[in-house]
Amino acid sequence: MSYPFSDIESKWQKRWEEQGAFRAVMGKSASSKKYYLLEMFPYPSGRIHMGHVRNYTIGDVMARFRKAQGCQVLHPMGFDAFGQPAENAAIKKGVDPAAWTYDCIAQMRDGLKKLGISYDWDRELATCDADYYRWNQWIFLKMAEKGLAYRAKSPVNWCPSCQTTLANEEVIDGECWRCHSKVDPKLLEQWFLKITAYAEPLLNDLDKLAHWPDRVRAMQRNWIGRSEGVEIFFSVKGTGEKLPVFTTRPDTIFGATYVVLAPEHPLAKKLSAGTPQEKPVAAFAEAVARRSKIERTAEGVNKQGVFTGGYAVNPVNGETIPIWIADYVLMEYGTGAIMAVPTHDQRDFLFAKEQKLPMRVVIQGGEGGGEGAYVGEGVLVNSAQFSGLKNTDAKKKIALWMEEKGHGKRVTQWRLRDWLISRQRCWGTPIPMIYCAACGVVPVPEDQLPVRLPEKLPITGEGGSPLAKVKEFVETTCPCCKKPARRETDTMATFFDSSWYFLRFCSPKETQLPFDPKEAAHWMPVDQYIGGIEHAILHLLYSRFFTKFLKDIGLLSVDEPFTRLLTQGMVLKDGEVMSKSRGNVVDPDGVIEKHGTDAMRLFILFAAPPEDQLEWNDSGIDGVDRFLNRVWNLVERLDGYAPTESNGTETKELRRITHATIKRVTDEVDAFKFNTAISALMEMRNAIEKSWGKVPTDAARESVEALVCLLNPFAPHIAEELWQKLGHSDLLAIRTWPAYDPTLLTQSEVSIILQVNGKLRSKITLPKDAPAEQVKASALADPAVQKWLEGKAPRDIIIVPNRLVNLVI
RNA sequence: GCCGAGGUGGCGAAAUCGGUAGACGCACAGGUCUCAAAAACCUGCGGGGGCAACCCCAUGAGAGUUCGAUUCUCUCCCUCGGCACCA
């Protein structure tokens, strides 16, 4: 018979809510530290899944634990409610996206409440509320004011299936992150955020994030992609036109035997014009343009290119070398032009070999021998006055020298691109801009915010943006000249919404600003953030950018939003990610019905460390279910507890285990080692069971009460119920964490292992801290040890106090 | 290629300022209870050898340091994740 989890769970959920147990209040007492714990808020798809359960359960353990430790905890929840699924539902089922979304939110909220997470529901927000998105618009206008939001025509990623543009961060392996369609290049005029203006601090401040996983920091570092080098000013022979190339290897400048432009480089057309190369160059550029970026940059693709007919002059030696175009040079990076050094760059080598272009060795290092470019370190040769220098030294010297001579300048290149935020979708935040025939692009004045979405959106899925079809929306007057003007009909990428929601939670009802700076100064930064690794770059990079921007305009005092980050592992079934198409989805509701929320939470926390993948296992949950029932039974049996024999040793040992477990669970929860903390509780329960009837009532009660208190963050409903059954009237949810008595932790006797030559041969029990002489004598007297010593005296005896003796012969 | 994480029983996993490898749990096997089953409870459970005491082997592979290595160093192998014709 299982304990009545169903009644218990709803009972305590109601009780917590009635008593406002989890309401976050800005504390006045200096003694209680603030603790802002946040889990990445969900998209309201309607149902919660095991991934959500895991994410929020991990957070809840920490939130309840910190609260018990006396922190003022802020633990809010909301919904990332704009986005395409609502539009897709509108297209498919003809529903109103707003109605659909709010419906889903209601369902999600119910589902979350059934998990018993300690949220402050008073702070709930949804990004699709005008009260929220008006501040998206406000922030956007501030960025525009600072020149950080701008409109530009450039090649962008277009998802043909989603019918919208995408940010670079949203393109994974050339595919749309959402629908996995192949992304097409398209030349469009769009809104961008100048995240590149923050490239340097975004990179450098990663070093401050000591409590972020290494891999997330590494991924961001890769993504931002800083690279230091020199822009070298080649010139075009004949015209003298400047042709800058970017290189990280100025030490190889004397080995440059040709120059390569990206096929779309404007100079290519110019150079070939009127030469026999005009046609081949145009044909090649067109052929490359037709191929997608993935095709073009795929591994193993042969490098192709043609001669432009033009020549460049190397500024350091006046040498004239041919200018080619080739598909392996990208217009977006550097200057779209490179100097080719086939002897010391593998790509240049392959191309030069194919096209039979000249090569010249300028670095000598070790035995080259093999096929290809030598990219190692070495000594410069054929490099004028720099010959004989180590190439690592020459790098700096040549760069400085070129700068002096005006042959080039040192530059830093970034891989990071500006963030394209325009979306040709309607279920998002309208971009607050107006186009006026006379005044041009005019921002919507602040006092006219929010620019609201129309009530009825004509979503058909065909014929372009629905917003553009709503006359009342599009048609407006110019704020400057008051003449008729047209509104921007694109909306913002939803990652904009989620880039600052953690700030809104600090003061969700603030009406003058996106958030109250005083509240933010108190609660920020988020002390612990928890979410999936899929946001390692996207959301986590954008949020860092927003935080830095909002600091720069004086609203924030912190420059990083999330002090600690935990990326929880995925929930798998049969070794695979749960998904509808695989048919291996385990529905949380079904588990709750069968085992209760507490058992589900406990299993998820017990089966693997939070960062690791978690394999869902139906019989695994039976195991934790059994444990909870055993704890339940302990409390029930305590009522008629009557010790048959009272034994001092047993009592001392049970108390030692009890207090040692309090210490262990405290330390382990603090370090997110929930799986071992739970196993410590299981061991403690086993110990109580073993001592049952052999210890006095007060010792048994002390242990059982401690067990219930320690169980609380993991399985809060059963813990509250048992606490009440134990005769208490206070709520565990707001009760102080148990303390341990350090004097009870020590054992009077210790087991010491005896090794001969490092191999375990025997064990003895001695009083704790026995003197070395006594330990040595006892070890030598041990029969098993004597057998292995074969009468010989040990050459050396190593004693590790209270642990082991190793006899070396 | 570069960067990051990791490799321990049948399974999920413990143990790393070097000190009893496999805690805790699952599965499995045997037992108690029962007319029977379920539940519950008890016992066993890395591999090999031995009636047993006990012995040998074992933390991806190989070397090294050490009285002693899952833990430290080096060289490989493999898995997962990210970036990548980025000049």
Q: Which pLDDT score, from 0 to 100, does residue A185 have?
A: 80
Kindly report which listed range (A297-301, A339-343, A527-531) carries the lowest average pLDDT score.
A297-301
| A190: pLDDT strictly greater than 90 | yes
Q: Which strand B bases fall within 7 angstroms of a protein CB?
A: 3-5, 11-15, 19-21, 23-27, 39-42, 54-56, 67-69, 81-87
Rounded CA–C1' distance between A773 and B54, in angstroms: 29
Q: What does the pLDDT look like over A291-308, one tens digit per residue?
A: 766 666 655 567 889 999
Strands A320-326 and A305-313: antiparallel
Q: Which pLDDT score, from 0 to 100, does residue A294 have?
A: 62
Q: Which pLDDT score, from 0 to 100, does residue A534 have?
A: 85
Asked if strand B comes closer than 7 Å to A29 Cβ, the answer is no
Q: Span A110-133, mean pLDDT?
A: 97
| A93: pLDDT strictly greater than 60 | yes
| A758: pLDDT strictly greater than 90 | no
Closest CA to A559 of A605, A525, A600: A525
Q: Which pLDDT score, from 0 to 100, does residue A301 have?
A: 64
Kindly report which listed range (A103-112, A579-588, A600-609) carries the lowest average pLDDT score.
A579-588
Residue A480 CB burial class (10 angstroms; 0-12, 13-18, ≥19): middle
| A224: pLDDT strictly greater than 80 | yes
Q: Which pLDDT score, from 0 to 100, does residue A757 have?
A: 87
Alpha carbon distance A663, A651 (integer Å): 18
Kindly report which listed range (A25-34, A122-131, A416-425, A509-518) carries the lowest average pLDDT score.
A25-34
Could you give phi then psi for residue A442, rounded to 5 degrees?
Answer: -120, 130
Alpha carbon distance A327, A284 (integer Å): 9
Kindly report which listed range (A72-86, A280-294, A591-605, A725-739) carries the lowest average pLDDT score.
A280-294
pLDDT band at A96 (very low <50, low <70, confident <90, very high): very high
Closest CA to A733 of A748, A743, A746, A718: A718
Q: What does the pLDDT look like over A443-463, one tens digit per residue?
A: 999 999 999 999 888 888 777
Q: Which pLDDT score, from 0 to 100, does residue A214 have?
A: 85
The residues of A between 398 and 427 with beta carbon within 7 Å of nucleic strand B are 413, 415
Alpha carbon distance A654, A81 (integer Å): 52
Q: Which pLDDT score, from 0 to 100, does residue A30 have?
A: 62
Tokens, residue A583: 């048919």
Alpha carbon distance A732, A716 (integer Å): 8
Using only C-alpha atoms, chain A has a radius of gyration, in whole angstroms, of: 34
| A516: pLDDT strictly greater than 60 | yes
| A1: pLDDT strictly greater than 80 | no
Alpha carbon distance A795, A340 (integer Å): 68
The residues of A between 580 and 609 with beta carbon within 7 Å of nucleic strand B are 606-609
Kindly report the number of other CB atoms within 10 A of residue A64's CB atom: 28
Which percentage of chain A shows pLDDT scores above 90?
67
Helix (H) or strand (E) holding A324: strand A320-326
Q: Span A533-541, mean pLDDT?
A: 90
The residues of A between 316 and 335 with beta carbon within 7 Å of nucleic strand B are 327-334
Q: Which pLDDT score, from 0 to 100, does residue A296 have?
A: 66
Closest CA to A451 of A10, A133, A204: A133
Kindly report which listed range (A274-278, A312-316, A440-444) carries the lowest average pLDDT score.
A274-278
Strands A562-567 and A526-531: parallel
Closest residue to B66 (CA to C1') is A758
| A746: pLDDT strictly greater than 90 | no
Kindly report which listed range (A57-66, A364-373, A450-459) carries the lowest average pLDDT score.
A364-373
DSSP state of A79: B
Closest residue to B53 (CA to C1') is A784
| A693: pLDDT strictly greater than 80 | yes
Could you give phi then psi for residue A463, rounded to 5 degrees?
Answer: 75, 35
Q: Which pLDDT score, from 0 to 100, does residue A295 have?
A: 66
Q: Which pLDDT score, from 0 to 100, does residue A267 have?
A: 93
Alpha carbon distance A707, A682 (integer Å): 9
Rounded CA–C1' distance between A374 and B1, in angstroms: 14
The residues of A between 672 and 701 with beta carbon within 7 Å of nucleic strand B are 673, 675-676, 678-679, 682-683, 686, 689
Query: When comparing pLDDT for A378 and A521, which is higher?
Result: A521
Cis peptide before A525 (omega within 30 of 0): yes
Rounded CA–C1' distance between A619 and B27, in angstroms: 9
Which percentage of chain A shows pLDDT scores above 70?
97
Rounded CA–C1' distance between A394 and B4, in angstroms: 31
pLDDT band at A759 (very low <50, low <70, confident <90, very high): confident
The residues of A between 165 and 224 with beta carbon within 7 Å of nucleic strand B are 172-173, 214-215, 218-219, 221-223
The residues of A between 228 and 247 with beta carbon within 7 Å of nucleic strand B are 229, 246-247
Q: Which pLDDT score, from 0 to 100, does residue A175 have?
A: 82
| A183: pLDDT strictly greater than 90 | no
| A151: pLDDT strictly greater than 70 | yes
Q: Which pLDDT score, from 0 to 100, does residue A292 have?
A: 66
Alpha carbon distance A159, A555 (integer Å): 36
Asked if strand B comes closer than 7 Å to A627 Cβ, the answer is yes
| A806: pLDDT strictly greater than 60 | yes
Contacts of A471 (CB under 8 A, 6+ apart): none
Alpha carbon distance A432, A449 (integer Å): 8
Taking the mean position of all CA atoms in its chain, how far away is CA A795? 56
Which nt sits closest to A350, CA to C1'? B85
Kindly report the number of other CB atoms within 10 A of residue A267's CB atom: 21
Q: Span A142-159, mean pLDDT?
A: 92
Q: What does the pLDDT look like over A731-741, one tens digit per residue?
A: 999 999 999 99
Which runs of E-coded beta strand occur in A469-620? 475-477, 484-487, 491-492, 526-531, 562-567, 571-573, 576-577, 614-615
Average pLDDT of chain A, as a whole number: 91
Length of chain A: 809
Residue matched to tokens 């001092």: A648
Kindly report which listed range (A257-261, A550-554, A645-649, A704-708) carries the lowest average pLDDT score.
A645-649
pLDDT band at A785 (very low <50, low <70, confident <90, very high): confident
Q: Which pLDDT score, from 0 to 100, does residue A125 have?
A: 98
Alpha carbon distance A634, A411 (integer Å): 70
Rounded CA–C1' distance between A635 and B38, in angstroms: 25
Residue matched to tokens 């612990």: A528
Q: Which amino acid is at A275?
A: T
pLDDT band at A19 (very low <50, low <70, confident <90, very high): very high
pLDDT band at A637 (very low <50, low <70, confident <90, very high): very high
